[in-house]
Amino acid sequence: MESPYASALHDPSQASETSSLETLVNEKHRLRLHFHRVQHGKHVKPDFYNSASTKRGKTFRTSFRYLQGLNKKQVDDFMASYVIYNLDWSDEKQMVEALGENYQEKVGDCLKAYYGIINHLCALGDVEKMYIPPLMSKKATVLENQLLYEESIARDIGLKPGDRVLDLGCGRGRVAAHMAQFSGVQVIGLNIDSNQVAQARTFNDECCLQNAFIVQDFNDLPLPFADQTFDAFYQIQALSLCKDLPALFNEIYRVLKPGARISLLDWASLPSYDPTNPEHAGLMRRVKPLIGAKALTGSGFTVLRSDNASVGGLQAPLIKTVDLYFRTVRHLILGLVKVRILPRHFKTLINRLCLDGEAFVKMDTQRLATTSYRIIAQKP
């Protein structure tokens, strides 16, 4: 079927990166205004003065150019990552059978490609940071809910000026910047993707903050820090990338000072989930690549709080908002690919991104699983 956008596009022989980028930017702005008017009214807003939020237009352009310049191997590794996440990483025989003798190198390449590409894909939408936050306010936007949740982290783990805080899976440093601006702390961020670390450092310098960022796969243990280095720790939906959670939690325990608190936000299956139910199992297979969270007590932590951070225990309203937005943008991207303004791999990427949104909504509304499960714990 002909894309509704195709007739409005320029002759592909005269198209340029600038024209295609402007088309996406203008349509993106129109969609954001439309969704905001339809879904949001007056509401309590986060502390934008101390949010260290970046300009969305600049982020969008940076992400667009990054995605436009991807090579075939990066795209192939991104697609392969969805298969890799379904393997049992602790079963070496299974890993060798599926990926070959050099499976560790393959896993590393796929993780880098997945984490780098998904972050930039999210930035094409209203997801400045690569996570859908808990629903903190029903009238707030995705970005506002992110800021509200991050401010709740600062309160939950008792951040105060001068504290040193470890951020695992720091992405492009946006959450770290908010934490530093809001609480007066210094954040040390770890990330597997050098491109995102470079962006984090640049953004940190632009904000005149003292955060630091290290290219490091947190599966490569031990962590590069001395004992009792940090006053607090947080991670947001990064544990699905971990190969050995007990070993990682042992390391986090080691580098924290006594009394330090930690905050985890990640996936958890809920009591209604039945692994013997074919529908439940099928939904879980579709969302599994993005999930993962485990208990902490075996490493010595005391759990202070364990609950669903979303209002009413449902994250679905935000997931629906993001899913609807990206499905709308998908039509625009497919139209641009069809008339050869965008490279074909944009079609591959946007189709994969939109594939499992409905499964997430269904699992959340049926209360089978959530990606907004919160754990606050403390090192004695």
Closest by CA to 263, choosing from 71, 70, 89, 134, is 134
Q: In what order do the strands lie in the sheet with 164-168?
A: 212-215, 186-191, 164-168, 230-236, 256-269, 369-378, 302-308
Domain-located, residue 9: no
CA separation for the pair 59, 29 (Å, rounded): 13
| Residues 70-102 pLDDT 10s | 889 888 888 887 777 666 666 778 778 877 888
What's phi and psi for 236, nearest 5 deg? -125, 105
CA separation for the pair 96, 329 (Å, rounded): 38
Both tokens of 169, joined, read 């899976």
Number of independent structural domains in the chain? 1
Q: Supply the pLDDT for residue 83.
A: 74
| pTM, to two decimals | 0.75
Q: Supply the pLDDT for residue 6.
A: 33
| Residues 192-241 pLDDT 10s | 888 889 989 999 999 999 999 999 988 889 999 999 999 999 999 888 77
What residues make up the domain containing 127? 25-378
Domain-located, residue 11: no
Q: In angstroms, how far apart are the furthest CA atoms of the chain?
A: 66
Q: Supply the pLDDT for residue 205.
A: 94
Q: Supply the pLDDT for residue 29.
A: 46
Contact 108, 283 (CB under 8 A): no
Domain-located, residue 347: yes
How confident is the prediction along the chain (380 residues), in pLDDT tens digits per residue? 333 333 333 333 444 444 454 554 454 444 444 444 444 444 556 665 555 555 567 777 888 888 888 889 888 888 887 777 666 666 778 778 877 888 777 777 777 777 778 777 777 766 667 788 999 998 888 888 999 999 999 999 999 999 999 999 998 899 999 999 999 999 999 998 888 899 899 999 999 999 999 999 888 899 999 999 999 999 998 887 787 888 999 999 999 999 999 999 987 777 777 778 887 777 666 555 433 445 688 899 999 998 889 999 889 888 888 888 888 888 888 888 898 888 899 888 888 877 777 777 888 888 887 888 899 999 99
Domain-located, residue 8: no
Q: Supply the pLDDT for residue 127.
A: 65
Domain-located, residue 176: yes
- We report the CATH number of the domain holding residue 353 as 3.40.50.150
Domain-located, residue 17: no
User: Within a 10 A sphere around the Cβ of 44, how many other Cβ atoms?
Assistant: 10
Q: Supply the pLDDT for residue 291.
A: 39
164 to 160, 184, 186, 207, 307: CA distances (angstroms)? 9, 10, 5, 18, 26
The identity of residue 68, as a single letter, is Q
Domain-located, residue 2: no
Domain-located, residue 324: yes
